Structure 1
Amino acid sequence: MDTRDDRTGADRTGAVDELSDRDTPRALGPLGSRPGNGESGKRRAAAPRRGAADPVKALLHRHRELCERAVDPLEIAAGLEAHGVTDRTAARFRHRDVFSLAEELYARVPRGGEQGAEPEPLPVPRVRRDWVLLSLLPGVLGGATVAGLRLTHGHPRLLAAAVGILAVALATRAALRRGPLAGPPGTHAWRTAYGTRAWTLWLLGYALLGDGLLHAAATGGPDALPTGAPDGSWPTAVAPAVALTLACAPAAWCAHLLSAGARRRLAGSRGLEDFTAAAKPLLFGTFALFLGALTALLLVCGTVLHEPVAYPQTLALGALLLLARLLTVHGHRHAPAVALGAAAATEAVALALPLAGGLPGCAVLTAPVRTLLDAWGETAVPALACGTAALALLFHAGRTLTRASAHAPTEAPD
């Protein structure tokens, strides 16, 4: 028997095994017989993979919608990766990696009468004046609100606080609808679930009022409402709140750097593993850049407002909010919602236990929180809650935001 023909059939079988039988029917010779030895077998071995046993053709049929709407082979590569196709899988289709397989799929789809036309590179996000100005607006309004609180007293102060908080909220919402914090056009990534918005508002409110309320609850209070002054019976952490509003600008810039850098690395990569290796330093570098900018803003706000600044809890909260936003922008919304909800629930329990301890026979409930406060103070609660959630999201982002499918204009991964 011709051993060369046997090797050819084995190689073909290894490629076809990756697909289902209905997608890749076995090749038959004339009149339904198998290819025989001799000249017919040689012609069969030398023929290109375009027949019924062509695995790439079956793969194209399975992902035809993805291949037809793609404007670049990189979109197909990212889409295949999102469907579980790896470089090892591409090797079974006789390609060195997913990128090479995507190029063949892209070339096989006719486009306006020109098959295999030279593709254009993925567009790199540009800096736009509108989102730059909108990212600065929350910080400007936050500073104006603090100035109004310092210049007013009594009922005018409460009115200034209410108007200022509303203005900052609307400005932040506008910043999340434009630019890199809003995601690609048409994805509506700024639209988050009501639960996620509630957890975020709770965490920001706790950063402003939580430490003072926890201290008052642990000492038998609170006896009065907050006055907006740092030296009141219910202290208000104004400096961290202003720093977080000012941090909207560096957050937008870091998101832009991540998106633009990932697109450039995606265009220059020849494999999924190559892109992941190049994207991880980019992700962690932009994350560290944001933490450095937030640290500088905390230092400036504390110095200008003459207030103590709790760096650990504010940095943990800022890191948590940034990672949650980045994951949401790139299509991963479940993990941010869980992390934000867990951090908010932890803070709520820490507040509820001392308040419930004031009831008859419930003094034992205050023991865990009191032990934590005696050891590290009120700032330990938000630092641990937000820090743990931020570390979990950082680990998740290291696995998801370093994939090609997270940065190409394809469907959301989840």
Structure 2
Amino acid sequence: MTDLSALDREQATPAPRRGADPVKALLHRHRELCETAVDPLEIAAGLEAHGVTDRTAARFRHRDVFSLAEELYARANHHTDTPPTTAPAPEPRTAWAVLTLLPGLLCLATIAALRLTHGQARLLTAAAGTLALVLTLRAALRRGPLRAHHAPGTTLPAYWLIAYALLGEGLLQAALTGGPDTPPTTADWPLTTAPVAALTLACAPAAWTTHLFTTRTHRKLTASRALEDFATSVRPLLLGTVTLHLVALAALATLTATLLDEPSALPATLTLGALLHLARLLAIHGFTHAPKVILTATALAQAAALATVFAARLPGCAALATPVEALVTAWTPAAVPTLTCGVAALTLLLHAARRLTRASAHAHAEARR
């Protein structure tokens, strides 16, 4: 699909006048980019972000944007008196590998402790386990391949979606039958712990597939000579790494359901896992608006499904619960998270297929690291 804003910027780029230096005006227009760039690749990515395509480069007597960027870099007046900023040393793989394993192991330990405790001790165990799990998740998302420069507005809806995976189906089922009349216990208000365990264990394969995607796209970027060729080569890589993550998540979901002796919630787990993975992948490369909007909309949709069931108990409001009741009757309570997360994940996948196939996304991500 054509990026209309980029097309508008390209059409707004004036053609060089006959007899004039075709590159000089472009160098003046993007002087700051050209003078501060550390290599021609950064200039090529910046030009692409401003809507300059290979077709635009031909108007400046170059075969592609990369060739144009090389001339701009060679002609730019680089600030040699300013010492270049050294990039931080890459973190050891062992450090972030261990961090991504901790949330899943801690989640399994918390579930085991909950099954061995009762009453107030059980509530304290749940509170302590939840706090420790949140802290380890934050640590895993701040190191290594899953680290995002800035992702505002995505944390709260993501935690809501995970909480719904744990409590939502039991609460919805209880609400449809006139409850709940008791606190959330494994006996009277069933908790679906297997999906949460699988999702936390999936932090490790998410980090490895993200690392694979990042390193492979950087190699393709340095080897490419045309923006369209780069985009064409990255699309199957994006789909492949997302699929690889989902295969690992499916195996973990099956394993945790067997270990915890719970029914398999594979569709709901896979759609939620795909949604969270794609949202993080976009945030890592600087695209935070779409993940924030999609995650928030999905969380609100799930909250609305619960709210309509409870609101239907008010006089004259029984019809409010009809859509949710029909959906649950035709399928199961898992239909609500499966459909909401499935639609959201598909939307983010289409968005990622447009954004993450651009050279500027990966060059800018490398600069932020």
TM over 0.5: yes
Q: Residue 355 of structure 1 aligns to which amino acid in structure 2? A: F
Counterpart among 202, 210, 220 of residue 178 in structure 2: 220
Counterpart among 62, 79, 98 of residue 65 in structure 2: 98
- 1:61 is aligned to 2:56: no
Q: C-alpha separation between the residues in 2 aligned to 1:411 and 1:303?
A: 41
Query: Which protein is bigger by CA-based radius of gyration?
Result: 1
* Aligned pairs for 1:198-217 within 5 A: 198-217=156-175
Q: Deviation above 4 Å: which 4+ runs of structure 1? A: 24-27, 110-113, 122-127, 410-413
> Larger relative CO (CA 8 A, sep 6+): 1 or 2?
2
Q: C-alpha separation between the residues in 2 aligned to 1:371 and 1:248?
A: 35
Q: C-alpha separation between the residues in 2 aligned to 1:252 and 1:410?
A: 16
Q: C-alpha separation between the residues in 2 aligned to 1:346 and 1:201?
A: 15
> For residues 345-404 of structure 1, what are the alpha-carbon distances to aligned partners after superposition, in whole Å with 9 as ceiling and x for unaligned?
111111011111111221111111111111011010000000000000000000000110
> For residues 281-306 of structure 1, what are the alpha-carbon distances to aligned partners after superposition, in whole Å with 9 as ceiling and x for unaligned?
11000000000000010111011111
Q: C-alpha separation between the residues in 1 aligned to 2:215 and 2:273?
A: 22
Check 1:208–1:137 CA distance in 2 against 1; reply closer, same or farther (3 A cut): same
Q: Is the 8 Å Cα contact of residues 27 and 72 (structure 2) preserved in structure 1?
A: yes
* Aligned pairs for 1:181-192 within 5 A: 181-183=146-148, 188-189=149-150, 192=151
* Displacement after TM superposition at 1:19 (Å): 3.1
Counterpart among 326, 332, 355 of residue 281 in structure 2: 326
- 1:79 is aligned to 2:79: no
Check 1:128–1:327 CA distance in 2 against 1; reply closer, same or farther (3 A cut): same
Q: Residue 74 of structure 1 aligns to which amino acid in structure 2? A: L
> For residues 39-69 of structure 1, what are the alpha-carbon distances to aligned partners after superposition, in whole Å with 9 as ceiling and x for unaligned?
xxxxxxxxxxxxxx21211111111111122
Counterpart among 190, 195, 201 of residue 235 in structure 1: 190
- 1:376 is aligned to 2:343: no
Q: Residue 216 of structure 1 aligns to which amino acid in structure 2? A: A
Q: How many residues align?
A: 352
Counterpart among 89, 92, 96 of residue 131 in structure 1: 96
Q: Which residue of 2 aligns with 1:286?
A: 241
Q: C-alpha separation between the residues in 2 aligned to 1:99 and 1:88?
A: 12
Q: Residue 274 of structure 1 aligns to which amino acid in structure 2? A: D
Q: Residue 206 of structure 1 aligns to which amino acid in structure 2? A: Y
Q: Residue 358 of structure 1 aligns to which amino acid in structure 2? A: R
Bigger shift: residues 338-347 or 378-387: 338-347
* Displacement after TM superposition at 1:107 (Å): 1.2
Check 1:271–1:260 CA distance in 2 against 1; reply closer, same or farther (3 A cut): same
Q: Is the 8 Å Cα contact of residues 243 and 297 (structure 1) preserved in structure 2?
A: yes
Q: Provide the aligned C-alpha RMSD in A.
A: 2.3
* Displacement after TM superposition at 1:125 (Å): 6.9
Q: Is the 8 Å Cα contact of residues 78 and 410 (structure 1) preserved in structure 2?
A: no
* Displacement after TM superposition at 1:129 (Å): 2.0
* Displacement after TM superposition at 1:18 (Å): 4.5
1:409 partner SS: helix
Which ranges in structure 1 are unaligned for 5 or more consecutive residues?
1-16, 28-52, 114-121
* Displacement after TM superposition at 1:112 (Å): 7.3
Q: Which residue of 2 aligns with 1:109?
A: 76
Q: C-alpha separation between the residues in 2 aligned to 1:366 and 1:345?
A: 16
Q: Is the 8 Å Cα contact of residues 305 and 324 (structure 2) preserved in structure 1?
A: yes
* Displacement after TM superposition at 1:109 (Å): 2.2
- 1:179 is aligned to 2:137: no
* Aligned pairs for 1:391-410 within 5 A: 391-409=346-364
Q: Which residue of 2 aligns with 1:196?
A: 154
Counterpart among 345, 362, 385 of residue 300 in structure 2: 345
Q: Is the 8 Å Cα contact of residues 74 and 102 (structure 1) preserved in structure 2?
A: yes
Normalized per residue, the structure richer in helix is 2
1:332 partner SS: coil
* Displacement after TM superposition at 1:127 (Å): 5.6
> For residues 320-349 of structure 1, what are the alpha-carbon distances to aligned partners after superposition, in whole Å with 9 as ceiling and x for unaligned?
000000111111111101111111111111
Q: C-alpha separation between the residues in 1 aligned to 2:353 and 2:344?
A: 14
Q: C-alpha separation between the residues in 2 aligned to 1:125 and 1:309?
A: 39
Q: Which residue of 1 aligns with 2:199?
A: 244
Q: C-alpha separation between the residues in 2 aligned to 1:111 and 1:217?
A: 66
Check 1:129–1:141 CA distance in 2 against 1; reply closer, same or farther (3 A cut): same
Check 1:25–1:96 CA distance in 2 against 1; reply closer, same or farther (3 A cut): closer
Q: C-alpha separation between the residues in 2 aligned to 1:168 and 1:321?
A: 17
Q: C-alpha separation between the residues in 2 aligned to 1:410 and 1:313?
A: 31
> For residues 249-292 of structure 1, what are the alpha-carbon distances to aligned partners after superposition, in whole Å with 9 as ceiling and x for unaligned?
11111111111010000011110001001101110000000000
